[in-house]
Structure 1
Amino acid sequence: MNINPINYEEDNFSILANNNEKKQSNSLSFGTYLKEAINDVNKLQIESENYKKLLATGDVDNLHDVMIAAEKADISLQLTMSIRNKVVDAYREIMRMQL
């Protein structure tokens, strides 16, 4: 009776390699997420401006929609600016560290 050896290590390496390829193809970089977030904030700002123009011309029936769009844009911009400030502060703190 002939027993074939089990190639346990080779099988595991091939499985790990396949998993790493899948993770790399599915994962997005931090820069991509950052660009998407900034684009979302920009879209909210543009939408708010459009509502304000419609309000100024009298083409808006519901003032609530205008106010909601303006507040969404304002809150998203404030959040973006506070995150930017935290990142800049963290960078400055790291640069002050002595090695």
Structure 2
Amino acid sequence: MKIQGLSNIVSQSINKLDDNSKNKINFGEFLDQQLSKVNSLQKQDEDYKKMLAIGEVDNIHNAMIATEKADLALQLTLSIENKLMDAYKEIMRMQI
């Protein structure tokens, strides 16, 4: 398994967004795609936890990696949400 840094993943997503500019992907669709990826990581983590509870996991490392991936993706999503909310509040405080 190839381990990438978070900055590599973000830059790859931005590059994909630049590549998809020909397809006219909008910001809402981009967020929807990324949230579905986070959701799939969360579901994969839940599946590993269920398999671990009933003793079907042969390699516990894969379960731990799935848990960490899901946790990091959720933390990043929450950080982005907080930054977006802060930006929205700042815009709403602006006087016209």
TM-score bracket relative to the smaller structure:
0.7 to 0.9
Q: Distance in 1 between matches of 2:34 and 2:21?
A: 21
Change (3 A) 1:24 1:87: closer
Q: Structure 1 vs Structure 2: percent identity of aligned residues?
A: 56
Matches within 5 A, 1:2-81: 26-81=23-78
Q: Which has the larger radius of gyration?
A: 1
Number of positions where the alignment pairs a residue of Structure 1 with one of Structure 2: 77
Gaps of 5+ in 1: 1-22
Runs of 4+ in 1 over 4 A off after TM superposition: none
Q: Distance in 1 between matches of 2:58 and 2:27?
A: 41
Q: Residues 52-80 of structure 1, C-alpha deviation per residue, up to 9 Å, x if partnerless?
A: 00000000010100000000000000000
**What's the Cα RMSD here?**
1.5
Pair 1:95 & 2:74 matched: no
Gaps of 5+ in 2: 1-19
- Post-superposition shift, 1:25? 6.0
Q: Distance in 2 between matches of 1:81 and 1:43?
A: 16
